[in-house]
Structure formats: C-alpha cells, structure tokens
Homo-oligomer: A and B are copies of this chain.
Amino acid sequence: MTGLLVFAHGSSVESANEAVRAITAQLAALGGFSLIEAAFLEGGKPSLAGGVEGLMSRGATRIVVLPYFLTLGLHLQRDLPKLIDEAREAFPDLKEIHVTEPLDGHPALAQILLERAQSAC
C-alpha cells in the first residue's frame, strides 16, 4: 500500500502548520486517500521520518512524498534528499520512497495569483 506525505516547510506559527494539515485533509477527500499525513521540515510535527513511521505502522510499504513548496531552493535540493536517504536507512522494510515534483511550475499557480491580483486592482 502507498502512503502519501505532504511535506511542508513548517513554521513556529502553529496555525500555519494547521493550514498544511487542512490542505492534506482536502487532498485526502479529493483523492479518496486514507494513508496520508502532513510532515514538516521544521517547526511542525511530525518530521519526515516520523511521518514515514506513522504511515508504515498503518500498513504503508511504499511512500510518495509531495513537496508542498513553491520554490526549488536549498530545502528541496539539499535538505529533502538527505531526509529521504536517512528514511531509506532507518526503514529498510520500506519498498520505495518517491518524491514528486513540487508545486512550482504548475500553470494553476499563475491563475491563483491572477485572481489575487484582480481582487485588488
């Protein structure tokens, strides 16, 4: 079974982490996913490893990580690959851990910005 992790930066502002959990719940409803959790680089809980462990304890044998980041910066280029390597070592029973593209580059993003701009212009 495949488990999904929505992986966000995380914030010391807990309401920001709650917003990530809320979009994770929306995604679960939209896609009919049951094995799904939010996980955070910093600030929020669980961590990526904690999220993987949680999903595995519920039966996941394969993990898909969805980076909830707009920018392909250092967190995705340096931090995330390191966390993925660590998870592979820490959870040898995991058959696969796969990282999808981030949000960046999706055409709907410009459309959202357009709506925001038009609401203010």
Using a CB–CB cutoff of 8 Å, the interface residues on chain A facing chain B are 2, 4, 6, 8-9, 11-13, 15-16, 19-20, 23, 26-27, 30-31, 33, 43, 64, 66, 68-74, 77, 98, 100-101, 103-121
Query: Do the beta carbons of A98 and B120 come within 8 Å of each other?
Result: yes
Knowing A12-B74, A30-B110 are in contact, say whether A120-B100 is a contact too (CB < 8 A): yes
Tallying the copies of this chain within the complex gives: 2
List 8 A-B pairs, minimum CB-CB distance, nearest first.
A11-B73, A26-B110, A16-B73, A100-B116, A16-B71, A64-B120, A108-B108, A13-B73
Q: Which residues from B are CB-within-8-Å of A107?
A: 26
Contacts of A100 in B (CB 8 A): 116-117, 119-120
